[in-house]
Structure 1
């Protein structure tokens, strides 16, 4: 965890140095062509090293994630109800994110000059408009006749659909074969994560090169867009936290003030550690002491929620992709938005438990592919992701405790929590 925190600080420092250094070197005159090309090449190589792990990592994590959900649902009625609530909340959060983020960007758009500076500096200004997609052709394309070709062309939704079919088929195999395949893909995912961690060691160099390119091309004009990004994604995660209070009141009978007091300790730990797993012991204790959740409910639901449920994942990741589309001047088609929502839902399950820097790329890159958004901006957004990541974790922990309180109320043989007016 200390490595991740120090990495975030070094990447943020690299972003600042690159932007300021590039702006000073340019100084109102054209930047040296050799320096621009060198910085762009270094940044592109670093981004390519990250991108090459996305497809195998997403496929492997989907297989392992579906197997985990299947095992959980076979563990009993309580686990099945928990997975049902996880699914319903993730779908609801995905729909509300499209509505809320689009409304926020329409009401408070990014400054056009800052947006142009950001996109031009990161991509050279070469952003292709999304193609008009025939609905019938789009539906037909969802089932890939050649999954390898779909992976090679970054056709992410067909690949995700094939991965889900494959993963559910694996869960129907005899135990020996199922365990063998799940272990294999778990090992593949672990190997990809090792590669990503190697690449992230060089993140300060890669981000510095990309930020230097941005500074050389557009000066400091892009800083406003980066600040807008931090506020937008953080606000989306804070909205998840706020929604949990009425959820607990309506479905668990726990008034907002009582729920606020019950979850405050876990929220503080989540804020400081940025780790749902690290907050798990505090969540269990808070659920038992402050929400009167029986030990068998807290002991099953909270570890399960940490393992397969992150409510802020589709919210924040879709907000990132929508922001990129906004500053790029791209208007996704309804088909692309539907595809992005389905991908966001799938990867929210598959990327649970990954370190923040790893999950950022694994989760957001497939959504960008589905939405037609350029991924060249992602390393720059990663550099300032340390702030939204805090609110991602706080939102996940709050949602975990809300679902636990809801499931406690419906647990047979357990006294229900009396509704409160607080």
Structure 2
């Protein structure tokens, strides 16, 4: 299914899901198995797709310096935009005051505090003690680490490892083919995921907390329009309209599945077919982004932390706000791209500034809706990084070729 047709089908399915959800309400729970089927198909392909495509992507660079440069650009972009995202979330939360004057009672549910992982522990946990168990347990950071080192070893060994490279290249092509098959049921899956949610959450449930939903949505929109548009225009020389149109099928799937990792096959497909991202870049940047790039989650942290502080009448100092930015940025590296992982991350950030965790009970009630918004931003950020890194690699290659051609012209003269 080509990009434009896929977009049309997903969009139509999305609109129909909202309409049916509003009309039939909770009765739309009957179509939930369609969404579950789609999620299972996505989960079925995600580990082998990431593993094989990343090995091939790293090995095909043929240059360790080039891989190091690509890694540095990718990680720097991800961490930089994450810090910007949480700052935008804090500013919007400060201006809109979503928790001020809210008379909804705070649940007495006990929330267990989550300690923010230290930087050293986070880095050490990336290294698998048993790579096979990492594959079985779908530990994406450890899978990425294992795949990168396999790809590097293929490059270092050279000719003797050609058979191994050919095997994984063929395996990756098989996974791309399976992904294309799975994408054919994406519109049905989106309908099965969105309709029950719309039917479940009526206006009566949403109205008391509509302000925090609006705050997260506005922060997300500002980050997407300001940060990603500027970055794509400045570094990739691409029209933001073209970029958003090209990645829109992945955004809709992300909104429906609430999973960055689950949307990865669609993100790869849209980036390569619609945005012209090379396979070498997409196979490295996008799997890494689905695991460590959490811009949407970060801005959600900013809004929600201020929501809880305002709910309890607590004034946060500048030092505490800075702590929130740093904690959320570093914690995003270890946050898996799965539904509601941001809620766990929120307890870490709130603990770092001593806020009462009971306030999370209110947010938990609407977390699925907020998860839709933040996951859409996460995936858009992944695609923007892939687009920019791909464009920079092409520019560098053209510059090298031009430089190398100059001596030959002098010799010819």
Task: Calculate the TM-score normalised by the size of structure 2.
Answer: 0.57
Q: Distance in 2 between matches of 1:336 and 1:187?
A: 39
- Deviation track 1:180-227 (CA, whole Å, cap 9, x = no partner) reads 39999999998xxxxxxxxxxxxxxxxxxxxxxxxxxxxx9x975422
2:242 aligns with 258
2:215 aligns with 232
Q: Distance in 1 between matches of 2:377 and 2:83?
A: 16
1:92 aligns with 84
Q: Distance in 2 between matches of 1:236 and 1:227?
A: 14
Q: Is the 8 A contact 1:111 1:224 kept in 2?
A: no
2:120 aligns with 165
- The answer for unaligned runs of 5 or more in structure 2 is 1-20, 27-57, 59-63, 140-203, 400-413
1:122 aligns with 107
Report how far residue 300 of structure 1 moved.
1.2
CA gap 1:262/1:169 in 2 versus in 1, 3 angstroms = closer
SS of equivalent residue, structure 1 residue 355: coil
Q: Is the 8 A contact 1:262 1:287 kept in 2?
A: yes
CA gap 1:103/1:254 in 2 versus in 1, 3 angstroms = same
Q: Distance in 1 between matches of 2:74 and 2:325?
A: 22
Report how far residue 407 of structure 1 moved.
0.5
- The answer for unaligned runs of 5 or more in structure 1 is 1-8, 14-71, 125-151, 172-177, 191-219, 417-422
Q: Distance in 1 between matches of 2:206 and 2:278?
A: 49
Q: Is the 8 A contact 1:284 1:302 kept in 2?
A: yes
1:180 aligns with 2:180: no
- Deviation track 1:221-276 (CA, whole Å, cap 9, x = no partner) reads x9754222222223222333223222211221111221122111211222222222
SS of equivalent residue, structure 2 residue 357: coil
- Deviation track 1:275-303 (CA, whole Å, cap 9, x = no partner) reads 22222122112111221111111111111
1:275 aligns with 259
SS of equivalent residue, structure 2 residue 358: coil
Task: Calculate the TM-score normalised by the size of structure 1.
Answer: 0.56
Report how far residue 111 of structure 1 moved.
5.9
In terms of fraction of residues, the more helix-rich structure is 2
1:297 aligns with 281
2:375 aligns with 393
1:354 aligns with 338
SS of equivalent residue, structure 2 residue 393: coil
Report how far residue 346 of structure 1 moved.
1.8
Report how far residue 400 of structure 1 moved.
0.9
